[in-house]
Amino acid sequence: MTETTVGIGGAAESTDMVLNIGPQHPSTHGVLRLRLVLDGERIVSAEPVVGYMHRGAEKLFEARDYRQIVMLANRHDWLSAFSNELGVVMAVERMLGMEVPERAVWMRTLLAELNRVLNHLMFLGSYPLELGGITPIFHAFREREELQAVMEEISGGRMHYMFNRVGGLKEDLPAGWLGRARAAIADVNTRMHVYDDLVRGNEIFRARTRGVGVLSAEAVHAYGVSGPIARASGVDFDLRRDEPYLAYGELQDVLKVVTRTEGDCLARFEVLLEQTHNALDLAVACLDRMAELAPGPINQRLPKVLKAPEGETYAWTENPLGINGYYLVSKGEKTPYRLKLRSASYNNIQALAVLLPGQLVADMVSILGSLFFVVGDIDK
């Protein structure tokens, strides 16, 4: 077999075309390259090439103390900043054997679910946009702005909240914040039907996604795919239910693990949409519980220099895009000896190698968009 690498245009009929999708300019938001081998309009093989925006966060962890590494871990999935912080502080707290105040546990759970909704709304709006439907993105940003306002009020940040601390949260809630959060969630809930009616019920959207890019449960296990993408292929696993952390053990009657068996682009979108509905329900349940709690501390007092005892531990969380893992090794110093980050998008994107072969080039965007990844979460 002979190969001809071309930029634009065709090649001789007896050769395969190697087509590079990306990488875009380094200043763009997320740089991914796909190396496709084509036979006419059909994809023969696909290789995701990552590393174009690698920022060396794992190496920087070793040169920052336990308070400073929260800022670094905050940024790899820029749509899930609060959840990113959470895994790091949970790992350090586990090393220290530290108990977090009850109010902080429930508050962390509430903010993690609001962060999940913010993450999912972005994809619920941007995925139809990639298929030619511009209207949903305006709806998504309207809902995001309402929730973003309550997150910004409590933390001071719009994307990178920096509200988690080892031992709890940065500070207590502003007066009246619980009521304003409840009102914002209620407003968003009343408008979520737009995505069911406008997107999921749209015949063009369904034609572009149903039966396209089917990912088998075997491939999910082989590549370590997790989150909504795995559950859309029938893999019924969610850490919030199967290995509860924070307050999820007390929310099992509200928590709903959404699954599908089709494994196609439409199933992945439907799982994401129904998971957004459930995250809003979980947030309301957390608000109800917070209203019942007696006043108390929101964090633990820490020494000026925080040192974790010598040893190792592993903490993992059900982030909006899938499972995030944090393997922490300490030598008893104020900085980690090693902090290895297992990010959801890195594993999920590898499945393109089995998803794209056999598909038409025209369906590539449908498949790529349905994997709901953030490139910073790949190139950590």
Whole-number Å distance between alpha carbons of 287 and 264 = 35
Residue at 57: amino acid letter: A
Q: What is the pLDDT of residue 5?
A: 56
- Provide the β-strand partners of residue 322: 319
Tell me if residue 104 falls in helix, strand or coil: helix
The DSSP-derived string for 85-108 is: HHHHHHHHHHHHTPPPPHHHHHHH
State the pTM of this model.
Answer: 0.92
Quick one: pLDDT band at residue 207, thresholds 50, 70, 90? very high
Computed over every residue of the chain, the mean pLDDT equals 91
User: Are the C-beta atoms of residues 129 and 136 closer than 8 Å to each other?
Assistant: yes
User: DSSP class of residue 198?
Assistant: I
User: Are the C-beta atoms of residues 279 and 310 closer than 8 Å to each other?
Assistant: no
CA nearest 66: which of 246, 303, 297, 299? 303
What's the whole-number mean pLDDT along residues 155-162?
A: 89
Whole-number Å distance between alpha carbons of 249 and 314 = 19
pLDDT digits (tens, 9 = 90+) for 258-270: 999 999 999 999 9
